Chain A
Amino acid sequence: DTGVSQDPRHKITKRGQNVTFRCDPISEHNRLYWYRQTLGQGPEFLTYFQNEAQLEKSRLLSDRFSAERPKGSFSTLEIQRTEQGDSAMYLCASSRQGLAFTDTQYFGPGTRLTVL
């Protein structure tokens, strides 16, 4: 069990550019979550996958954001036409299928995005 990994750890981009982040969950974890965290705030839920199906998207996820989880393994989060307000830490978490109220989510180290 190597934990949840995220790549890259840091990304600096210019406004208007597209960026893509990758998350590799713990193997055999079929649930995968993306969260966003801005400075001084707690993480905010963005989207949820169960296997390859995207079952919930937050209102925070504008049409510039898209997430995929092909084959139910790794996941990617793409932001198109980045804006300065997108600057944040993007966190990925995974958990094992079970009762939703008791499963433990394991978080990755996050990808810090800075939009200039």
Chain B
Amino acid sequence: DAKTTQPNSMESNEEEPVHLPCNHSTISGTDYIHWYRQLPSQGPEYVIHGLTSNVNNRMASLAIAEDRKSSTLILHRATLRDAAVYYCILRDRGGNTGKLIFGQGTTLQVKP
């Protein structure tokens, strides 16, 4: 499974944008980029995913580099509820189980 690299932790101020980076230099052409987050004492929850083009949904935006070796999750206005561990995951579209391979993720702290 292709690997991702994320900073261990980041800090943000409330109501400011947050850019969470992810490096995936060994990504293959069939790998989708998924982001999940895990709030304290909860199971992970889906945030967003993409293949090549930038993606937007109600939670966040995903910016994917042209060479696909990196991506950035963008929270447009961080709130205290966004404090969580954010995981960047590569999923092989050729796989037949869809299992998620989590790394250690980025712990985001949001300061009021």
> Chain A interface (Cβ within 8 Å of chain B)?
4, 31, 33, 35, 40-45, 48, 50, 55-56, 91, 93, 95, 99-110
Give the docked Cα–Cα distance between A35 and B46 (Å): 15
Tell me whether A107 and B99 are in contact (CB under 8 A): no
Known interface pairs A41-B104, A101-B92, A102-B32; A55-B98 also in contact (CB < 8 Å)? no
- 14 A-B pairs in the complex with CB atoms less than 8 angstroms apart: A35-B102, A42-B85, A44-B102, A48-B99, A55-B96, A55-B97, A91-B43, A100-B98, A101-B91, A101-B92, A102-B49, A105-B36, A109-B42, A110-B42
- B95–A100 contact, CB under 8 A? yes
> Is A101 a contact of B99 with CB atoms below 8 Å?
no
Q: How far is the CA of A107 from the CA of B97 in the complex (A)?
A: 16
Q: In the complex, what's the smallest C-beta–C-beta distance from A54 to chain B, in angstroms?
A: 11
Interface size on B, residues (CB 8 A): 27
A101 to B1, CA, bound (A): 13
List the count of A-B residue pairs having beta carbons below 8 Å apart.
Answer: 71
A33: chain B residues within 8 A (beta carbon): 99-100
* Cα separation A104 to B47 with both chains bound (whole Å): 9
Interface flag for B17 (CB, 8 Å): no
Residues of the B chain whose Cβ atoms lie less than 8 Å from the Cβ of A107 = 42-45
B7 within 8 A of A: no
- CB-CB nearest 6 A-B residue pairs: A107-B43, A42-B102, A101-B93, A100-B98, A104-B46, A45-B99
* CB-CB under 8 A for A99 and B93, given A91-B43, A93-B43, A107-B45: yes
